[in-house]
Structure 1
Amino acid sequence: MSLRRIGKRAAALVVTMIAALLVPLAVSAPAQAAQNVAAGTAAWTPEIYPLYSGERVWARDVPSANRNAALGACSLASGIACVSVGQGDGNHSVFHLFRCETRSLSNFIDALAVRNNQTGGAVVRFWGPNYRANIPADGRITEVVPNEAVYDFTHIDIC
């Protein structure tokens, strides 16, 4: 087999492998877009990044009436801080955190509440370019206001 034929076969193999990876992604894209539209144009998905091993999104789509109960259930164990933030549709996302690290926030827009049940006086700190908030480890549910501050927050530190 000539070198030219080997090169053409290798190129064809690479194109086939790329197509095998991209076609399933393209097929699933419309379904994902439909889910976002169904959620409503005012809804968004708050995120904390990174979530470390053992940390997680405790719950999504928690109705406002159940937010405090979800924060309490999330942070039952000592050493845990749970953060709830609005999704823009009357529901909340609740995050279960405990590792002493700094993280980035996205889509933290309103209705921020925290239950800091950490030990040793650890503080949950939020900050952005213009606002800061410190939540002590007192086991109470603390609402962070005004919303302008929540809009400004870009980072969280659990320490």
Structure 2
Amino acid sequence: MIAALVLPLAAQAPAQAAPNVAAGPTAWTPGVSPLFTGAGEFVTRNVSSADRDNALRLCSVASGIACVSVGQGDGRHSVFHLFRCETRSLSNFINALAVRNNQTGGARVHFWGPRYNHYIPADGVIHLIPDEATYDFNRLDLC
């Protein structure tokens, strides 16, 4: 008896379209903490992939600067302008990591996490880091 009532009600229910969910990439916001904004450090967000390398070069024109660019998941990048010798925590470093180190005195940029370590020499060259290492990194040291 119950089955007879359920079937006709289900058959009479109007069809509903699936929710309209916009397709597209998921974005995230990479972070470096602490970021010494009072001392002149800053981040530039939403840099296009086409402009990333140029942004890294412009960032590190002055000696003593390390510039770190990381993907935001939407085809754009965050470029961090860093110079203070400190250990930092990283958040949402997932892909497309590129670094240009123009620090003085041979200071290296050191990224590390539970499984990977990577050192960037002070050579003014843009270094690209594999995504599997980038995702693992949770710390950054500038000196």
Shorter chain as denominator, the TM-score bin is 0.7 to 0.9
Identify which of 97, 119, 125 aligns with 1:134: 119
Structural mapping, 1:141-152, within 5 Å: 141-145=126-130, 147-152=131-136
**2:135 is matched by which residue type in structure 1?**
Y
Q: 1:114 — aligned with what?
A: 99
TM-score of the two chains, using structure 2 as the length reference:
0.81
Partner of 1:88: 73
* 1:76 partner letter: V
Aligned to 2:41: 55
For 2:57, the equivalent position in structure 1 comes to: 72
- Look at both structures and tell me which one has the larger radius of gyration over its CA atoms: 2
1:25-36 superposed matches below 5 A? none
* Structure 1: tracts of 5 or more residues without a match: 1-37
The whole-number CA distance in structure 1 between the counterparts of 2:137 and 2:125 is 21
Unpaired segments ≥5 residues, structure 2: 1-21
Bigger share in helix: 1
- What letter matches 2:111 in structure 1? F
Structure 2: distance between partners of 1:41 and 1:83 = 22
Partner of 2:10: none
- 8 Å Cα contact 2:25/2:73 also seen in 1: no
Q: Which amino acid aligns with 1:71?
A: L
For normalisation by structure 1, the TM-score amounts to: 0.73
Q: For this pair of structures, how many residues does the alignment match?
A: 119
Cα deviation for residue 41 of structure 1 reads 5.7
Q: Report sequence identity in percent.
A: 70
